[in-house]
Amino acid sequence: MSTEFHPELMAGFQVITVPDRGQVLYLETRISGMLVDTTDELHHYARRFGELRGAALPPDASRKLIEKIRGEFL
């Protein structure tokens, strides 16, 4: 199994629902973190999250890959 580099691995992000404010995007880089609440940015990262989910291995395959890699370091 292999995976290609994905550009969204450079920074973490999370879409958070805040009472009385709606959805906000939290972006985190190596240097800082920030909240973003613009519709365009939220839609961009919602699409990216969908792409990441589509590229992810199913849970059983992920578990097997983690166990295989873990075994290489023990």
pLDDT-flagged residues of the chain (< 70): 1-10
Say if pTM beats, i.e. exceeds, 0.75: no
How much is the pLDDT for 29? 84
Within 10 A of 62 (CB to CB), how many other CB atoms are there?
A: 12
Residue-wise pLDDT tens digits, 23-43: 899 998 888 999 998 999 999
* Cβ neighbours of residue 6 closer than 8 Å, sequence gap 6 or more: 51, 52, 55
How much is the pLDDT for 68? 93
What residue ranges do the domains of the chain occupy?
7-73
